[in-house]
Structure 1
Amino acid sequence: MWWKRLQYERRNFNYYKTAVANLFAVFPPVPDLGKPSPGKCRTCAVVGNSVNLRGSGYGSLIDSHDIVIRMNGGPTTGYEKDVGTKTTHRVLYPESAVDLDNSTHLVVFAFKIQDLEWPTKALTTGFYTTSHRKVKPKINGNKDLVMVVNPAFMKYVHEIWMKRRGKYPSTGFMTLILSLHICDEVHVFGFGADSNGNWSHYFEVLKKKNYRTGPHSGTNEYAILKRLASEQTVTLYKGS
C-alpha cells in the first residue's frame, strides 16, 4: 500500500482498522466546522512558518479571518505583530506536538498508523511510543475539537495536485488544499523561501545555508500556490 511505504510501516491493515476504531471511540466522527452564514463568506488565513513573515506586520490582518490555521509548533508569543495571536486550527504530528487551548481544533494529516494512535493517547493516558525524534507524551487540548484527515487525502494531494513530485506533500501544502475545501476565501501567509532561496522559519536563526525542503517538492508546491494566486483562487501575501 502507498501509505506503508512512506514510513516503512510493518503493521498490517488490521492494526490500521483497530487504530481507527479506537480513534472514533474518543473523538467525534464528524468535525464541527461551524455553519456558514447566509450572505457571508467564511474567510481563512493559512499561516505557514516561512521566514518571510518576519517583519511583515501581518498580525492584525491574519487575526481578522474567521478561521486561522497554523502548522506544527509555529509560535505566536513574541511574534504577534507579524503572525497574529488567533489560532482556530493547528496541524500537528506526534513529532511536532504542542499544547493547545480549549478553543483550538487539532488537525492531523494521518499517514502512518502511529499518527492515528497518537491523538487518542496524547489527550488521555499518554503516548510513549518512540519515533524518529522525541515525542511529547501528553498535550493539552479539547477532545471535542479533533480532526483526523483520512490518509487518502495525502494520496489525493500527492497524485492529483503534485503529479507525484516529491516523496509526499508538505504539511503546509496539504493544509492549503484542505482550506480550499472548507473556506470560501483563502488567504495565504508565510509560504515560500527567503530571498536567498532558503526554506527557513521566522522563529529561528538559519544555521545551515542552502537549506531545502527534504522529501517535499517545495519549489513545485510554491509554483502551484502562485498559480492559484494568479487565478485569484487564493490571495497570497509574500511578506518581507
Structure 2
Amino acid sequence: DITYAGSRNKVYHVTQDLRELLPEECPDLRWRTCAIVGNSGTLMFGKFGAEIDKHDMIYRFNQAPTDAFSEQVGSRTTFESLNAKFAHELQAEDPDWLWRDPRASYIFFEPLKLKEAYTEIRRRHKGVQTYMFSPAFAYQAHRIYDRLQENLQNAGMGCFSGEKPMSGFYAVLYTLRVCNSIDLYGFDAWTDDMAGQFKLRYHYFDDDEPRPGAHSFDLMFYMYRLLEMSEEYPVQLRLVDVPRDADFGSRHHGATVDKEAGEEEEEEDLSRDIE
C-alpha cells in the first residue's frame, strides 16, 4: 500500500500482479525539445506540422489521427496519453484501434481508475511500451490544480468550475521534469462562440463536444500563460492566428499577451504554485 504524503485517508493499493509489472526504477528519460500537441479544432487554421515533427519528443492524446492532418499537426508521435475511455478500448482490443507507425508509447495518467486496465494491457500487449503516472504524481497534480484555481479566483481572474484537471495539464507537469524546452500546440481555450457563431469543431478530427462542467478551459489557459511568462519554465504557447471572421478574442492570437502595469508581480507570484 502507498499512503499519500500529507493525507491519512488516501491509500493506493498495489496488487501483486501490478507490482510484478512495475520497473525496479523509474525510466531515466530526457529530451532537449518537446512538443505537446492538443486536439483543438483551431489547429486546422495553422500549418505547424513540419515544425512539430522537428521536436525530439512529441506527445499526443487519445487516438488523435495524423495521417490526414500531417500539414497541420505533424506525423510523428513519441507518447500518446490515454484517458479511461481509450485505455479501456485498448484493453478490449478494439478492432478500430489506431496503431501508429512507428508505435507510440502509451501513458496512463489516471492511476486510480486504470490500475486493473494497466495490468491487463501490459500482459496482453507485451510488445507495446506503456507507462502509468504514479499515484503520488497524480495526487500532486490535483493539489497544484486546486491551489491554482483558488489563487486565480482570489485574484479576481474569474470563477472556474472545472471539476478536474485536463489530460494536457498532466502532460505539461510531466514534461517540465523531462524536457529542456516545451512547445504547446492546440492549447487554445475553448469557448462556446467557437462552436456556435464560428462553426469551429472542438477537435480538429471529429464532431465531439466538450462535456459541460468537466473542465475549466480558461483556468488551464491562464496556467499555460503564466508558465510562458515566467522565466523559470521553458514553455511556449504556439497559438493559431484564426481568420478575422472567426476572431475569438485577442488572447487566442500569437504567442504573447500584453500586461498592464502592476500585473507582472501578481502573475509571477501565481506562477510559483506550479512546481
Q: TM-score, normalised by structure 2?
A: 0.64
Which residue number in structure 1 is paired with residue 58 of structure 2?
68
Give runs of aligned pairs for residues 95-114 of structure 1, distance below 5 A. 95-97=85-87, 98-101=97-100, 103-112=103-112, 114=113
1:186 CA displacement: 0.5
Instruction: Indicate the structure (1 or 2) with the bigger Cα radius of gyration.
Output: 2
2:94 aligned partner: none
CA 191–142 in structure 1, closer or farther in 2 if over 3 Å, else same: farther
Does structure 1 residue 77 correspond to structure 2 residue 67?
yes
**1:48 correspondence with 2:5:** no
Change (3 A) 1:100 1:120: farther
In the superposition, relative to structure 1, how do residues 215 and 236 fare at CA in structure 2: closer, same or farther (>3 Å)? same
Q: Supply the distance in 1 between the matched residues of 2:22 and 2:99 (Cα, whole angstroms).
A: 16
* Paired positions, count: 203
Return closer, same or farther for 1:197/1:151 CA change in 2, 3 Å cut-off: farther
Distance 1:194 1:216 in 2: 10
Select 1:180's aligned residue among 176, 185, 188: 176
State how far apart, in whole Å, the 2-side matches of 1:22 and 1:164 are.
36
Other structure's SS at 1:214 match: coil
AA at the equivalent of 1:142: G
* Structure 2 residue ranges without an equivalent (≥5): 1-9, 88-96, 150-161, 196-200, 243-275
Separation (CA, whole Å) in 2 of partners of 1:212 and 1:197? 15
Higher helix share: 2
Is the 8 Å Cα contact of residues 104 and 141 (structure 1) preserved in structure 2? no
Rate the CA distance shift 1:159–1:93 in 2: closer, same or farther, 3 A: same
Q: 1:213 to 1:229 in 2, by over 3 A?
A: farther
**So what's the TM-score if we normalise by structure 1?**
0.73
**CA gap 1:122/1:23 in 2 versus in 1, 3 angstroms:** same
In the alignment, which residue of structure 1 is the partner of 2:23? 28
Equivalent position amino acid for 2:203 in 1: H
> Structure 1 194/95 Cα, relative in aligned 2: closer, same or farther at 3 Å?
closer
CA distance in 2, matches of 1:171, 1:65: 20
* Alignment RMSD: 2.9
Q: What residue in structure 1 maps to residue 7 of structure 2?
A: none
Identity of aligned residues (%): 27
Aligned: 1:200 with 2:184: no
For residues 158 and 13 of structure 1, do their structure 2 counterparts lie closer, same or farther at Cα, with a shift above 3 Å needed?
Answer: closer
What corresponds to 2:228 in structure 1? 229
Q: For residues 141 and 51 of structure 1, what CA distance do their matches in structure 2 show?
A: 34
